[in-house]
Amino acid sequence: MRQLLRIAPVIDDLGRLFSEAGHEIFLVGGSVRDALLGELGHDLDFTTSATPDETHALLKQFTPATWDIGKDFGTIGALKKSGGTQWQIEVTTFRADVYRSESRKPEVAFGDTIDGDLIRRDFTVNAMAINVATKAFLDPYGGLDDLADGIIRTPSTPEISFSDDPLRMLRAARFASRLGFSVAPDVVAAMKGMADRIEIVSPERIQAEFSGLLLTDAPREGIDLLVRTGVADHFIPELSAMQLELDEHARHKDVYQHSLTVLDQAIELEKARGHQPDIVNRLAALLHDAGKPATRRFEGSKVTFHHHDIVGAKLIKKRLKAMTYPAAVVKSVAKLIELHLRFHGYGDGGWSDAAVRRYVRDAGDELEHLHILTRADCTTRNRQKATRLRRSYEELEWRIDELAAQEELQALRPHLDGDEIMAVLGIRPGREVGEAYRFLLEDRTENGPREHDDAVRLLKEWWAAR
């Protein structure tokens, strides 16, 4: 009630406007759920008996800031300032969407009753509504009880729900992680029986839902649900493949459980280092050992995974492209997987300044992500070993900071740029300029910065010897 009173100036006006036009309008779905949890934000979702055109006309009377970009799906949006707060509002015509067996997208269909709309929603906790005009609370499928008990259930049978929209199987995992709820046994059973149904959903929708899961505060349970039910096999099989591969130290149940722990620790580090939820960080943590199944070898009593970093980077690059992740995300995650073992060996004998520069140069813009991934990858239960690894990486970060302060390490570039190289050598753009650039960059990495005249002398000596 406190939440509803807070938004009363907005919903009262909307209720009066739609009611006078002869239409019903309800606060619905996530807005009601979040209000009951005391977490209602500034985004309000409504459903109505009005058609999209009728809704748009009514909202124009309510606020000048409206848009109809979602009109084909029955949704009209609006912004409304009230009491010093800006509310983002979406009003959708009663829905009755369904997937056809051959379709990759839902077929949009409008309904004519609130009950028909609510039974088509994904879960009971999202199938509650409040009549904006009368303030009557509608909960025909027990969503309030499920919210109190922390259970994810479907309004209709899960088989019908997942047949209507198979993406709901991923949504079950996301809500389990986001809300910290358990998933009802019949829902889990339906996910197992209908896992292959997810293949008719477009990669773009799967990617968006999977990313939403990864970006929750505690995605582990949701990810494990997708693997246990076999749903993950149909869009990211590399996850399930890691279950059977024992870690080479035999100190974890398997590589899969180790990867979930690395993800947990990466999220903790992400927060501790002051970052917002980061999809690159989380994909890299979860998938950094994806190359181990393909590289598993037995050497006597020892299991090895030689070059799993290189193999894993190639596998995941291909997988993330297929899932339609942005090119920049794909490139960053692949680079991190390829570099995630680079630190090992640092604590054994220390690195020269040149080795530290090369570490920074190879990481490039992903240096902070690499710091997080490398630290999170330590999951040993041996306290002495864990302390030694942590201290070694702290020392490496300190040395990076020290060199950066001295040498502008983050902007590691050759002593001379391409134009200066061509001027010194009297050559035109071509292969030789690239060779000279790489020579100077390697010298910068190995020996640190040089004065301009010294760099010119070095370049001329290299050119003459060449």
User: Lowest-confidence range among 25-34, 339-348, 361-370?
Assistant: 339-348
Q: Are residues 270 and 339 in the same domain?
A: yes
CATH number at residue 105: 3.30.460.10
Q: Is 374 exposed, middle or buried (0-12, 13-18, 19+ CB in 10 A)?
A: buried
Q: Are residues 405 and 424 in the same domain?
A: no
Residue numbers of the domain that contains 436: 418-465
Which among 410, 411, 465, 409 is positioned nearest to 436, based on CA atoms? Answer: 465
Q: Are residues 143 and 75 in the same domain?
A: yes
Q: Are residues 19 and 125 in the same domain?
A: yes
SS3 466: coil
Q: Are residues 370 and 246 in the same domain?
A: yes
Q: Are residues 284 and 298 in the same domain?
A: yes
The residue from 391, 411, 431 where one domain ends is 411
Looking at the 3D structure of the chain, how many domains does it have? Answer: 4
pTM for this model (two decimals): 0.82
Q: Are residues 305 and 169 in the same domain?
A: no
Q: Would you say 215 and 184 are in contact if contact means Cβ atoms under 8 Å apart? A: no
Q: Are residues 280 and 344 in the same domain?
A: yes
The string of pLDDT tens digits covering residues 378-395 is 887 778 777 877 787 787
Q: Are residues 51 and 133 in the same domain?
A: yes
What pLDDT was estimated at residue 99?
Answer: 57
CATH number at residue 213: 1.10.110.30
Q: Are residues 184 and 228 in the same domain?
A: yes
Q: Are residues 107 and 194 in the same domain?
A: no
Band of pLDDT at residue 254, cut at 50, 70 and 90: confident
- Residue located via tokens 């190359």: 291
Q: Does residue 249 surpass a pLDDT of 80?
A: no
The residue from 131, 148, 165 where one domain ends is 148
The string of pLDDT tens digits covering residues 216-243 is 999 999 999 999 999 999 999 999 999 8
Strands (E), 51-84: 65-67, 75-82
The string of pLDDT tens digits covering residues 314-325 is 999 999 999 999
Structure tokens at 399: 């040395």
The residue from 218, 235, 252 where one domain ends is 235
Q: Are residues 58 and 195 in the same domain?
A: no
